[in-house]
Amino acid sequence: MRRIIIRRLAQIIPLIFAVIVMNFVLIHLAPGSLFDVMTSEQQITDPKMLDQLRHTYGVDQPVSVQLAKYIWSVMRLDLGYSYRQNAPVFDVIVQQLPATLILMLAAIGIALLVGVTAGVLASIKVNTIWDNLISLGAVFFFAAPSFWLGIMMTVMFAVKLGWFPVGGMRTIGVDETAVGAVLNVMHHLVLPATALGLFYAATFARVMRASMLEVARLDFVRTARAKGLSGGRVVMAHVMRNAMLPIVTLLGLQLGTMLGGSVVIEAVFSWPGIGSLLFDSVMSRNFPMVLGVLVLGSLLVAVCNATVDLLYLRLDPRIKAR
Amino acid sequence: MSGFTRRDFLMTTAGAVLASGFAGSSSAVASAPKRGGTLVGTWGGFEPQSLFVPAGGGSSPYFTSTKVFERLLRLTVDLKFEPVLALDIKPAEDFRSYTIKLRPNVTWHDGKPLTADDLVFNAMEYWKPISAGVTLDALEGAEAVDPLTVVLKFKVPVPEFFLKSVLAGKAGLVIPKHIYAGSNIITNPVNNTPIGTGPFKVKEWVRGSHVEFVRHDAYWNAGMPYVDKLVIRWWRDPASRSAAFEAGQLDIGTFNPIPAPDIARLIGTKKFIAETKGYSNSAWITSVEFNQRREIFKKREVRQALMHAIDRSFISDTIFFGRAHPSIGAIPSSNSIFFTKDVQDYPFDVKKAAKLLDAAGYPVKSGSRFKMSLVSAGWFEENVKIGQYLKQAFEDVDITVELAIPDRATSLKRIYSDYEYDVAVSNNSGSIELIPQTTQYYTTDGIVKGAAFRNATGYSNPKMDEIVGKMAVETDEKKRVSLVHEFDKLAAIDAPILPMVDLEPVTIARSDVRDHSLTADFMGESWAEVWLDR
């Protein structure tokens, strides 16, 4: 187990390095620069002032030097300074990262719960009306754009029924206890997490159904039935556990896309997460911020994937033997 | 014509529900203001990069910083200057110096008093080098005569309206010397928690969500602000703003907060009003620019022909859902001081356009007169549609069009840095005073490579430079107006760049929000006078 963890961590370093170099090159290939955006927004036209700002932003140096400097500072765990936000990159990200993490975790939770339950149900009741309804639902939520789903849910549950707030992460301007604050955030979390989670739930349901049906045909399941186990126990302990493996694989893969997918949901629900920060930073070519988000994001995904690997070991002891 | 009133607006968009919209009209109600409550506001854009961006930074930081910082003057909706931090601003007889009397007993949010020293610091260390730039080129010095009096000295005579506009404008915020002296104003971290003299103090900024302001109890205008808390929230999605209005979680939104088709529906509920006042000192236009560095577009007849080929009513009615109207000349019609109708106009006339192009030496040869690259700056959603429309309109006069609609950063680079376009669609917002924001699109000294929102066409006409030069130093208001008319006439005939439509931004507010939109740039005022009738 420890070897796996160490190996995983060792892989993160070249990964981060590649992320930095690739994105640095990409953002410099895109036309327009942070300097252009900043000076045009601020209507700065005085040549002396422009030179001074070039120096402040460090864009008066060759691109290769800028890259080397950036890598050196990341190695010292310093993500740099964002002149656009007038604050250290790390501080800005840390202010917004927790919101995205909460949203992601909640969405994954919903996706797993809904997806696996629906998949199991569909496989037990295969080729019945239940199966068809679940398949139909899965196709719908897979095809529906999440921003549309988000807006429709807002109109239904926030505007018409008034059950949930229309957006944001907590009620603004109320003083409350710690418990109250947690409940408040959870209340705000329901709609965005559901809108984001249902898309992934749809995939999980499809994969789970297929995987369950496949495992259910295997010999050990017949053995389990033959030794007189109840239907429920066979499904839960024998079929489901083995059918979970593809779901876990998928989960590891989708963690990364979820980080990206949350950009849209965050926009619809004005969730104060990292998505809008990343989007704005790309649009303004604010490369220290873009790189900062991507470096932390890739770290996050790498850690999640390592966790998924450990989960494999837990679910399927055969992997350890190899 | 004083622009498009709210009445017109409602007629065209909401028709039948006209009467109901007036129930909550901001200025029509004369009852005494109520204290208290939390006002939640937003605007039709995104979160600012920083709550205060000393050099400007666009509409979003302007919106937030003006709740904290104040200016010496403000411009009311009927274009009169009103004192804010200055009680009086008087020019000397030769208009080369101005005496400013400060309001006594004004304190910063940290309790320190506002003094003449602060003002001298602002004039010489902040306005001249950072926020106003070339606008205050003529400013030579500032001197504190006594603790509440400052004299500004200029190299040349400075028109009174011009100076007052600068002081009441985007560049005129008064920042505290004791906080900024000795630091780099632009990168000072305090810009994220600014300290000013305004009615609201920053309590907390939750990035990605909102900023919460609380009442400045020691505000100089006793009794104000009327609300206890002001929350500015940001939504990235216009439809979400509509939902927030309807769910009662948003009170007021400036600068087109919601999708145009939603406006009539919200007003129809009688709980909301749409207000078009409060934008004249920040009038937005969508313009078309012709690159004079290209042989074809250097010909005035070609530019005029292309102006005739554009159906500007189509743009305002269909693309803007009536939230715009065709421009006349270079000055928005909401500018009641300087606007004139007496300029060359370009009615939509395809035949005339074709005739002019023939005469200019570009007849149709094998199906096309010439090829042009059209760049429509993609920062507004409407510009995408305008770009597509113009492509068709120009193709109708047999021009081959290569259309590009790049994102913000790329558009800035193509239009204002690389001049890599033949015809461009861009926007800008101008104040009532035309120097320099409007004039720098036409003057030779407006050509600064890499500096956005100025002369990118390369147009240079000594006659134009001369008129603008005179405008800058003419201190007689009447003579100045006629100089501006001269400027406008020449701009309209030469047409290096001309506005196609004047935009009519809308403020949406709940009908129990009172006394909003009373100033010429409401979004950038302190909102001290806004109150909630609940």
How does residue A43 score in pLDDT terms, banded at 50, 70 and 90? low
Which residues are registered as beta bridge partners of B402?
Answer: B373
> Is the ipTM above a cut-off of 0.85?
no
Mean local confidence (pLDDT), A171-200 = 85
Residue written as tokens 């931004």? B505
pLDDT mean across residues, chain A: 84
- Interface contact A276-B212, CB threshold 8 A: no
pTM of the model: 0.84
pLDDT beyond 80 at A41: no
As a whole number of angstroms, the distance between CA B70 and CA B172 comes to 8
Q: Which residues of A touch B212 (CB under 8 A)?
A: 172-173
Give the pLDDT confidence score for residue B27 in this predicted structure.
45
Mean local confidence (pLDDT), A51-59 = 80
CB of A86 within 8 Å of a chain B CB? The answer is yes
Token output for A78:
């310093």
- Distances B223 to B33, B439, B444, B523, B528 between C-alpha atoms, Å: 10, 41, 50, 22, 9
CB-based contact B34:B531 (threshold 8 Å): yes
- Closest C-alpha among B441, B530, B518 to residue A43: B441
Token output for A283:
């649009």
Q: For residue B238, what is the nearest residue in chain A, using CA coordinates?
A: A268
Q: For residue A159, what is the nearest residue in chain B, using CA coordinates?
A: B247
Which residues are registered as beta bridge partners of B230?
Answer: B39, B213
Q: What is the identity of the amino acid at B24? A: G
Token output for A6:
């160490």
- Interface contact B236-A158, CB threshold 8 A: no
Closest-CA distance, A98 to chain B, in angstroms, reads 12
Q: Which chain A residues in 254-293 lie under 8 Å from chain B, judged by CB atoms?
A: 266-273, 276-277, 280, 283-285
Please state the length of chain A: 322
- Interface contact B409-A37, CB threshold 8 A: yes
Q: For residue B185, what is the nearest residue in chain A, using CA coordinates?
A: A86
Residue written as tokens 């470096």? A295
- Closest C-alpha among B422, B396, B431, B208 to residue A192: B208
CB of A44 within 8 Å of a chain B CB? The answer is yes
Query: What is the per-residue pLDDT across A137-149, written as a single tens digit (0 to 9) for each?
Result: 999 998 988 888 9
As a whole number of angstroms, the distance between CA B273 and CA B460 comes to 45
Q: Is the model more confident about A300 or about B61?
A: B61
DSSP designation for B112: P
Q: Which residues of B touch A280 (CB under 8 A)?
A: 46-47, 49
Q: Which residues of B touch A86 (CB under 8 A)?
A: 49-50, 187-189, 191-192
As a whole number of angstroms, the distance between CA B210 and CA B197 comes to 21
Determine phi and psi for A211, rounding to 5 degrees. -65, -40
- Cα angle value B253/A283/B184 (rounded, 5°): 85
Q: Is B315 exposed, middle or buried (0-12, 13-18, 19+ CB in 10 A)?
A: buried
Q: Which residues of A touch B244 (CB under 8 A)?
A: 166-167
Residue A216's Cα: distance from chain center in Å?
32
CB of A166 within 8 Å of a chain B CB? The answer is yes
When scoring A50, A90, A270 by the number of chain B Cβ atoms within 10 A, the one with the most, hence best to mutate, is A270
What does the pLDDT profile of chain B (534 residues) look like in tens digits?
A: 344 444 444 443 433 333 333 334 444 445 789 999 999 999 998 889 899 998 887 889 999 999 999 999 999 999 999 999 999 999 999 999 999 999 999 999 999 999 999 999 999 999 998 888 788 989 999 999 999 999 999 999 999 999 999 999 999 999 999 999 998 898 888 999 999 999 999 999 988 889 999 999 999 998 899 999 999 999 888 888 998 999 888 999 999 999 988 999 999 999 999 999 999 998 999 999 999 999 999 999 999 999 999 999 999 999 999 999 999 999 999 999 999 999 999 999 999 999 999 999 999 999 999 999 999 999 888 999 999 999 999 999 999 999 999 988 899 889 998 999 999 999 988 899 999 889 999 999 999 887 888 899 999 999 999 999 999 999 999 999 999 999 999 999 999 999 999 999 999 999 999 999 999 999 999 999 999 998
Residue ranges of alpha helices (H) inside A125-240 are: 129-143, 146-153, 178-216, 219-226, 231-233
CB-based contact A183:A119 (threshold 8 Å): no
Q: Which of B207, B236, B454 sits opposite A45 (nearest CB)?
A: B454
Q: What is the identity of the amino acid at B447? A: I
DSSP designation for B41: E
